[in-house]
Structure 1
Amino acid sequence: MKGGLPLAILVASLLAAGSSGPEAAVAPPRPNIVVLETDDQTLAEMQVLPNVRRLIGDAGVTFDNNFDSFSLCCPSRASFLTGQYSHNNGVRGNAPPDGGYAKLDHTNTVAVWLQSAGYYTVHLGKYLNGYGLRNPLEIPPGWSEWHGAVDPTTYRYYDYTLNENGVLTTYCATPEPSCYQTDVYRDKANEIIRRRAPDGPFFLWVAFLANHSGGPREPGDPAGFATPDPAPRHANRFAGTPLPEPPNFNEADVSDKPTLIRRMPPITPRERANIQENWQQRRETLLAVDEAVTSIVETLRQTGELDNTLVIFTSDNGFFHGEHRIRTGKVRLYEESIRVPLLMRWTGNTSLPRGVHRSQLAMNVDDAETILAAAGDTARPGRVEDGVSLLRLWRDRGLELGRDLLVDNMPGVTHFDAIRSRNFLYAEHRNGDRELYDLRKDPYELQSQHATPAYERIRDALAARLHNLVTCAGAACRARPPLVVTAARRGRCGPVRASVAGSGITSVTFLVGGRRAATDTRRPFGATLHFARSATVRMRVATAFDQLVTVDRPIRGCR
């Protein structure tokens, strides 16, 4: 055979190569990961971030039911770094003895895990509360490059200090528009991306202060309210815009609420004006973030990195603007405080659909596992993770995990533990107060049903599950209703018989290849399915106690 290898040698060469040939799968390169996080941003404030919605959500996914497990800066960020609830990572507040920077084991975070897997890791902006108080030159383990805001200057939009790889640099000691904090973070992020783009995967966490309150105070700031500081170009952009007053604003009847809420007097006209000003400034402060995200995405595009970058946009916790008479702040268990935005894009991963919304429950304890799943098998956690990878839910809108979410706050007299299921919120306060909201009928949480006889069974079921969650770890935090599931073909080419058994089941929907084939609402829950090809049978199981879970079984084709 002239001009070629003998056939046997050619075949052996192809087999040895393994990945050769047109049908062989080519492993995609590991993506860059860029996390863009705001501070104290509510879900409603996404309204003033059109570019974030367009460039990230419309190009990827928006998780419509995303929550933070502990609505406070430091515990929320600790959960992001560890993939654990606060009772497992140990950060139970913003300051010692229960929380703060020093409370977290920094040798065991997502940054350490990614760096060990070959990622170049960069932090830019706010870290954990109290960072820099002990040693402003300290750099936590796991970070290849560090631009950490040093407390207490973290909370200044001007005259703030960054520890930049061991060198302290103060920006804008005299306030100037050119060194507004959000804009400086934007420019630094762009420089980092341009510099690192040619050199392999990087993980960049940009933690904006916006729209958290911060100095300097300005004329016209409301007395008794800590407000943010919008960029000068955005000042008064929303002046005259009416303050939204949802049904729970300045709630008229709080007799069903816990003691702390019942003690709050109605909001006065003067207080309402202060809330209005704070609401306005907070939204104006986010406009610079929207511009920064636009610039960062464009830099990724210009450097050729955009498609192969997982971009995540989120906030650490929500905020109140007069709902339930709460003038300002967070920490409470209501939706305004615990529901936060979560948008992602990764256009280079063709298994992930674009421009979709997902309604499944998601939480900040899922962020680390999602990042690790994107980074690949070489990036593994050094902790027992409480969360799950959200890439699965992004791919599969019908997938339901059957889990509940835990929401709590700091130890002490105001402590509560709460469980958030698909349609209910149930809470137990340390002083004995209870709350239960049916969010389908009462999305503004106006009337607690904890003492209503008709809700007794669901209350007791949620309470039992809550008591398991407060000490859960790992898989126990993701517990789903116990089910006995069977699905098998009869004979060589007979029908498929599928069945589900378990406590409290109200209905089972059977799907074949993603299409509904049957629904059963009576015991025993089963269906006889007729199809000849190989397919996956999915059983979508709903319970009387607000749990929804899917179970998949692969079925062989006819022989």
Structure 2
Amino acid sequence: MARSLWCAIGATAAVLVSTAVPVSAALPTAAEPDPRPNIVLINADDMTLAEMAVMDSVNELITARGTTFANMFSVFPLCCPAQASIQTGQYNHNNGVLGNGGDQWPVGGYQALDVDNTLSVWLSAAGYQTAFVGKPMVGYNQLDPLVVPPGWTEWHAVVGGDYSKSTMFQDGLKTSYIQYQTDLWTDISQDVIRRRVAEDAPLFLWTSFKGPHNAGPMEPDDPPAPRDGTPARADRHKGLFADEPLPMDPSFDEFDVSDKPSEVTGRPPLDQEKIDYLTVLNRQRLEALQAVDEGVADIIGTLAETGELDNTLIVFISDNGFMLGQHRFVGGKGVAYEPSIRVPLVMRGPGVPVGATRTHLVGMIDLAPTFVEVAQATAGLEMDGVSLFARPTSRTLVLEAGPREIDGPFYWTGLRNQRYKYVEWGTGEVELYDLRNDPYELVSLHTDPRYTRILTQAEAALERLHDCAGAECRTNAVLVG
């Protein structure tokens, strides 16, 4: 693979390509070593952008030695839809995964994804070894019988248990483990690397950690009757953040919510019990993340040990963010506010600038196009995203949660560009924020007569883009007041 794939950074306009366009290097013949890099994707679950501050190993080994994407967004901020976008490079209105499944999200789950046409299939067809370790899409464990999805050379997916124990479905067999879950998945990932890098073909490894997502077992220092639980921590990390105060930015327990939709106005101000719960939840989340941070270090250490580190593209992300009291939300995600949709993305490896920060908008839909380009693979569908190696340009991202046609507070769709965010809820309510002047989304401008023109433009842009596909999705909705 060409060692510098990054186009001229800083240009403001370019034609961006999201379908598979091979880079200039030719695929190897049977007699030649394969020059293409390994690809390692590591994700946390429900981790916020602010929590990158406690990820010492990630920051030392990836951030400082690679590139930070400061405006990375989970375009459908929920576990299963985010994984579907990673696997297809598509918005969820195109890949069909419009929720986690179940009563609240009836159009979603693993069963909604066309598993025969995903990233693993494309990379496998291009000659990559592929391995998955950790938490699969929601609903996978309900398959009967369990099967390994197409395109995976190795499959190590959790199908039961909690942080203290795991039932894994590994290449056709169920195996039970008694080990802290994050550590187990780190060990399996290291074993995959040690065995697979000795082969001639490059490796694509996706390690999907669960931390800091809430899960048991219950622990003695958990808050009484927690609203939605907390994440169990490894014993070695308990108490590390015992004195950590709860972050309270200006949107925390928002005082005046008269401009907000009913999903917010129906929430009472936070009482002391909720604040105490959020305080403990925040501390335990930071402690659960320490095992993820150590896992990243161990995986990178194994790449170095095997001599593959310099020939590996490493990407660290979170599937979505999390609400810790902002706008009165006591935990959770799946809403359009910044703590829910804005997530970490750092990357290191061949062709990636060192110590750089990019501020253009990128999204979960951009990972598959990146990996397809690096692997010189061919996508089996039209992707909506663009490679992270493409030249930055102005862009508007589509945001969504659930089918637009379903009424109700959980369903919404919207747009975000560098300055504005516009959201239409399933209830018919709308929000409009000028993020340059109001980064905490305290005052919706949808009733402000000074923003009537912007509102009209945003409504028209969303009507055009809410069901966009391919190149149409890669446009910029210019909103001018």
Give the TM-score, by structure 2 length: 0.89
Instruction: Say whether 1:369 aligns with 2:365.
Output: no
Instruction: Say whether 1:316 aligns with 2:312.
Output: no
What whole-Å deviation, never above 9, does each CA across 1:235-265 have from its counterpart, x for those lacking one?
Answer: 1110111111111100000000001100110
Instruction: Say whether 1:299 aligns with 2:302.
Output: yes
Q: Distance in 2 between matches of 1:188 and 1:429?
A: 42
AA aligned opposite 2:460? A
Instruction: Say whether 1:403 aligns with 2:412.
Output: no
AA aligned opposite 1:218? E
SS in 1 for 2:273: helix
AA aligned opposite 1:162? M
SS in 1 for 2:182: helix
Q: Distance in 2 between matches of 1:76 and 1:63?
A: 17
What whole-Å deviation, never above 9, does each CA across 1:455-495 have from its counterpart, x for those lacking one?
Answer: 111222122111111110000101247xxxxxxxxxxxxxx
What whole-Å deviation, never above 9, does each CA across 1:89-144 have from its counterpart, x for those lacking one?
Answer: 00011115411111111000000000000000000000100112122531110101
Q: Could you tell me how far 1:403 is from its partner in structure 2?
A: 2.3
Q: Distance in 2 between matches of 1:281 and 1:64?
A: 25
What whole-Å deviation, never above 9, does each CA across 1:399-455 have from its counterpart, x for those lacking one?
Answer: 31x321011112331211110011111111122211011111111100001111111
Identity %: 47
Cross-structure match for 1:221 = 222
Q: Distance in 2 between matches of 1:133 and 1:356?
A: 43
Q: Distance in 1 between matches of 2:33 and 2:255?
A: 59
CA contact (8 A) 2:457 2:479 kept: no
Cross-structure match for 1:124 = 133
Q: Could you tell me how far 1:290 is from its partner in structure 2?
A: 0.8
Instruction: Say whether 1:111 aligns with 2:109.
Output: no
SS in 1 for 2:424: strand
Cross-structure match for 1:269 = 272
Q: Distance in 2 between matches of 1:148 and 1:292?
A: 17
Q: Distance in 1 between matches of 2:140 and 2:467?
A: 28
Q: Distance in 1 between matches of 2:294 and 2:384?
A: 34
SS in 2 for 1:40: coil
The match for 2:155 among 118, 132, 146 is 146
Q: Classify 1:136/1:273 alpha carbon distance in 2 versus 1 (closer, same or farther; 3 Å).
A: farther
Cross-structure match for 1:388 = 386
Instruction: Say whether 1:432 aligns with 2:437.
Output: no
Q: Distance in 2 between matches of 1:360 and 1:234?
A: 36
Q: Distance in 2 between matches of 1:430 and 1:293?
A: 39
Cross-structure match for 1:289 = 292
SS in 1 for 2:137: coil
Q: Classify 1:160/1:28 alpha carbon distance in 2 versus 1 (closer, same or farther; 3 Å).
A: closer
Q: Classify 1:167/1:460 alpha carbon distance in 2 versus 1 (closer, same or farther; 3 Å).
A: same
Instruction: Say whether 1:137 aligns with 2:140.
Output: no
AA aligned opposite 1:231? A
CA contact (8 A) 1:225 1:274 kept: no
Q: Distance in 1 between matches of 2:420 and 2:476?
A: 16
AA aligned opposite 1:135? D
SS in 2 for 1:169: strand
CA contact (8 A) 2:34 2:202 kept: no
Q: Distance in 2 between matches of 1:27 and 1:251?
A: 58
CA contact (8 A) 1:310 1:344 kept: yes
Q: Could you tell me how far 1:160 is from its partner in structure 2?
A: 1.5
Cross-structure match for 2:480 = 545
Q: Distance in 2 between matches of 1:423 and 1:27?
A: 47
Q: Could you tell me how far 1:392 is from its partner in structure 2?
A: 2.0
Q: Distance in 2 between matches of 1:544 and 1:121?
A: 42
Q: Could you tell me how far 1:28 is from its partner in structure 2?
A: 8.1
What whole-Å deviation, never above 9, does each CA across 1:149-190 have from its counterpart, x for those lacking one?
Answer: 11x43xx10221111111101111xxxxxx111111111111
CA contact (8 A) 1:66 1:362 kept: yes
SS in 2 for 1:132: helix
Q: Distance in 1 between matches of 2:34 and 2:204?
A: 17
Q: Classify 1:75/1:46 alpha carbon distance in 2 versus 1 (closer, same or farther; 3 Å).
A: same
Q: Could you tell me how far 1:545 is from its partner in structure 2?
A: 2.9
CA contact (8 A) 1:137 1:167 kept: no
Q: Classify 1:387/1:424 alpha carbon distance in 2 versus 1 (closer, same or farther; 3 Å).
A: same
The match for 1:478 among 463, 474, 477 is 474
Structural mapping, 1:252-263, within 5 Å: 252-263=255-266
Looking at secondary structure, tell me which structure has more strand per residue: 1
Cross-structure match for 1:555 = none
Q: Distance in 1 between matches of 2:317 and 2:132?
A: 16
Cross-structure match for 1:9 = none
The match for 2:452 among 450, 456, 460 is 456
AA aligned opposite 2:210? L
CA contact (8 A) 1:71 1:409 kept: yes
CA contact (8 A) 1:136 1:163 kept: no
Structure scoring higher RCO (CA < 8 A, sep ≥ 6) equals: 2
CA contact (8 A) 1:40 1:211 kept: yes
CA contact (8 A) 2:398 2:414 kept: yes
Cross-structure match for 1:511 = none
AA aligned opposite 1:40? D
Cross-structure match for 2:40 = 34
CA contact (8 A) 1:266 1:325 kept: yes
Q: Classify 1:236/1:84 alpha carbon distance in 2 versus 1 (closer, same or farther; 3 Å).
A: same
Q: Distance in 2 between matches of 1:142 and 1:272?
A: 45
Over alpha carbons, which structure has the higher Rg?
A: 1
SS in 2 for 1:370: helix
SS in 2 for 1:391: coil
Cross-structure match for 2:4 = none
Q: Distance in 2 between matches of 1:277 and 1:42?
A: 16
Q: Distance in 2 between matches of 1:449 and 1:459?
A: 8
Q: Distance in 1 between matches of 2:476 and 2:445?
A: 24
Cross-structure match for 1:422 = 418
Q: Could you tell me how far 1:303 is from its partner in structure 2?
A: 0.8
Cross-structure match for 2:14 = none
Number of residue-to-residue matches in the alignment: 441
Cross-structure match for 2:281 = 278
Q: Could you tell me how far 1:27 is from its partner in structure 2?
A: 11
SS in 1 for 2:390: helix
AA aligned opposite 2:471? A
Cross-structure match for 1:358 = 358
CA contact (8 A) 1:363 1:405 kept: yes
Cross-structure match for 2:205 = 204
The match for 2:58 among 35, 52, 60 is 52
| Deviation beyond 4 Å, 4+ runs, structure 1 | none
Q: Distance in 1 between matches of 2:435 and 2:146?
A: 47
The match for 2:110 among 88, 91, 101 is 101
Q: Distance in 2 between matches of 1:68 and 1:277?
A: 26
CA contact (8 A) 1:462 1:545 kept: no
